[in-house]
């Protein structure tokens, strides 16, 4: 079985490839990544030595129809798993056109190409941000209204709808996953957890938006990867699956936990002007994937946060070189 993974040099995509090739034989994976700012060859530097000819890489823009056709024509693929996305909310506010190009146009190109080349299944890896903001109680289910607040989440919502429409219009075998906030090794340094870790390690102020009381539901990246693989293999076509680990934390509390682990004080916290359209709370109801497929998270935030902090402490070469390893 051969898989085509897009965005496989990014945080979640590279962890997914490492998980699949490390746990399943004789999985064959083609990685397609445009190597934009958050995609780095440094995150996949060990793949050829560890996995040999079970892994191949092509640098390509998923919105380039001719290039995607050329790559898909090389092999017979069981599935396309689309991790490729511009994903940082702040950047989407500054330059929404890049998000439309990659997240909407790119997804449309991949869907069409997958049909032309007889790919059996298409997995769209999305985000809980498409649902918008929650109040103090409740959780997002797969039936929650889509109500995105940023250009990023709007572009992901549009891509999800294109994928689900392909199932209804063409009978294409598709599934969509929507996951809560990920953390773990190889995450680009601008995201909250690695940013806080690296700023604290350098004794620099750690920026916290607004009052810091925005709530996010956190999941360790390996748990997300197992969920995506389980949905790939067992998910029902045309369905959406929420993925979460029931680990809600206020941003401020999470930053304080990082500082405490590093032996730093709260004086490093710097409250900054809130992000426009900043969603107050996310929380995921993942009972559907747990009940229908049997997936469950295996890692706790408390255990893996400390290990993640130590990974960044021990891998300075990666986080200094990753933004430039193109």
- Taking CA atoms, 40 is separated from 43, 86, 251, in Å, by 6, 14, 27
Residue 316 falls in the annotated catalytic set: no
Each as own residue / partner, the long-range contacts of residues 161-165 (CB below 8 Å, 24 or more positions apart, any chain) are: 162/104, 162/107, 162/108, 162/111, 163/107, 163/111, 163/122, 163/124, 164/238, 164/240
Choose the catalytic residue: 55, 77, 131, 152: 152
Residue 129 falls in the annotated catalytic set: yes
Count of beta carbons in the 10 Å neighbourhood of residue 152: 24
Residue with tokens 């009381």, as numbered in its chain:
213
Alpha-carbon distance of 219 to 216, in angstroms, equals: 10
Alpha-carbon distance of 283 to 246, in angstroms, equals: 7
Non-local CB neighbours of 139 within 8 Å, separated by 6+ positions: 244, 283, 284, 285
Residue 33 falls in the annotated catalytic set: no
List 91's β-bridge partners, or say none. none
Choose the catalytic residue: 129, 160, 230, 279: 129
CA 90 to chain centre: 16
| The token pair that represents 182 in the structure block | 């990920």
Pairing of strands 181-183, 215-220: parallel
Choose the catalytic residue: 33, 128, 222, 285: 128
| Residues annotated as catalytic (active site), given as ranges | 128-129, 152
């Amino acid at each position: 079985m051969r898989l085509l993974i897009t965005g496989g040099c990014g945080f979640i995509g590279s962890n997914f490839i490492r998980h699949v090739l490390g746990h399943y034989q004789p999985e064959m994976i083609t990685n397609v990544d445009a190597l934009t700012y958050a995609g780095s060859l440094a995150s996949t530097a060990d793949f050829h030595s560890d996995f040999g000819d079970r892994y191949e890489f092509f640098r390509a823009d998923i919105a380039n129809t001719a290039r995607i056709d050329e790559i898909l024509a090389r092999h017979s693929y069981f599935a396309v798993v689309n991790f490729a996305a511009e994903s940082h909310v702040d950047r989407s506010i500054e330059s929404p056109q890049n998000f439309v190009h990659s997240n909407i146009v790119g997804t449309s190109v991949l869907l069409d190409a997958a049909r032309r080349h007889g790919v059996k299944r298409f997995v769209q890896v999305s985000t809980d941000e498409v649902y918008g903001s929650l109040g103090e109680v409740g959780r997002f289910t797969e039936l929650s209204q889509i109500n995105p607040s940023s250009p990023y989440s709007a572009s992901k919502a549009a891509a999800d709808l294109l994928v689900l429409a392909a199932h209804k219009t063409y009978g294409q075998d598709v599934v969509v996953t929507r996951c809560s906030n990920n953390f773990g090794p190889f995450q680009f340094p601008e995201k909250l957890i690695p940013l806080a870790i690296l700023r604290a390690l350098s004794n620099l102020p750690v920026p916290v938006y607004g009052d810091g009381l925005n709530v996010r539901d956190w999941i360790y990246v390996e748990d997300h990867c197992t969920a995506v693989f389980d949905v790939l293999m067992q998910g029902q076509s045309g369905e959406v699956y929420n993925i979460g680990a029931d680990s809600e934390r206020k941003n401020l509390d999470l930053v304080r936990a990082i500082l405490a682990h590093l032996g730093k004080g709260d004086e490093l916290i710097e409250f900054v002007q809130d992000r426009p359209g900043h969603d107050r709370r996310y929380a995921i109801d993942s009972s559907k994937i747990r009940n229908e497929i049997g997936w469950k998270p295996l890692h706790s935030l408390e255990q893996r946060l400390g290990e993640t902090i130590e990974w960044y402490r021990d891998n300075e070469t990666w986080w200094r070189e990753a933004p430039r390893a193109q």
